[in-house]
Chain A
């Protein structure tokens, strides 16, 4: 499958590498098929590229590398559509955005991917977690949720 992307030019994706999000993503409900790409310069970073819209891509990272005390708790009902019974079967990534010059991570709504089944879903994690966790040198501790 060949995708003309605005960010990465023309890329080829094996159809077996496509991740299917049955409900799309909130705000991007029409984008159901995505390819996970490694960033060419930064090994901590990946990009979820829509396979149907070349202009739609989300930067994603593994949250543990940036927020060591991030412990994601996800209601089981959110995981059953992915055929996941144990969070350890899942790859968890969070979406990167930018607030002015500061990069932020959406810790409230991580994306859970079942790499074997090639399915994914953005879920709402339990507890008080920020939608915009700012990446700074100080690493602000996460407020413990009740």
Chain B
């Protein structure tokens, strides 16, 4: 791993379009500012890994598992519409 020392308000560049800035340092907490192109997803690692695990759990679901889901569905409300999909 590349290790660099930085002070508050200093930055590092990753490639030519990602800038990570040390915004604040307090005790054992560091606040980072990240400027990256919008197509580059930026996540807290533990959050990203939790979502990965959740998706890999979710792909194990089979149609038989969802038979009763309608019991929990209310009427359509708000702006959301049910998924539009070709009827099979």
Contact = CB atoms under 8 A, between A and B. Distances in A.
B72 A38 contact: no
Contacts, number: 156
Q: Is the interface of B mostly helix, strand, loop or mixed?
A: loop
Interface string A1-26: 00000011001011001000011011
Contact of A26 (B52, B82, B88): B52
Interface stretch (B5-13, B15-23, B25-33, B42-50): B42-50
Interface residues of A, number: 62
Nearest to A135: B72
Interface in A20-37: 22-23, 25-28, 35-37
- Chain B contact residues (Cβ within 8 angstroms of A): what range? 35 or more
Contacts of B47: 108, 124
Contact of B63 (A39, A56, A95, A135): A39
A56 B59 contact: yes
B59 to A, nearest CB: 6
Given A65-B77, A103-B65, A115-B84, 10 more contacts: A7-B63, A38-B88, A42-B66, A44-B70, A57-B59, A62-B80, A98-B61, A122-B55, A124-B47, A132-B54
27 contacts: A8-B63, A22-B39, A23-B39, A23-B41, A26-B51, A26-B55, A27-B51, A27-B52, A36-B84, A37-B88, A42-B67, A44-B73, A46-B83, A56-B59, A61-B83, A62-B80, A62-B82, A63-B80, A64-B77, A68-B77, A91-B81, A103-B66, A106-B54, A108-B47, A122-B51, A135-B69, A135-B72
Interface of B: 38-39, 41, 43, 47-48, 50-63, 65-88
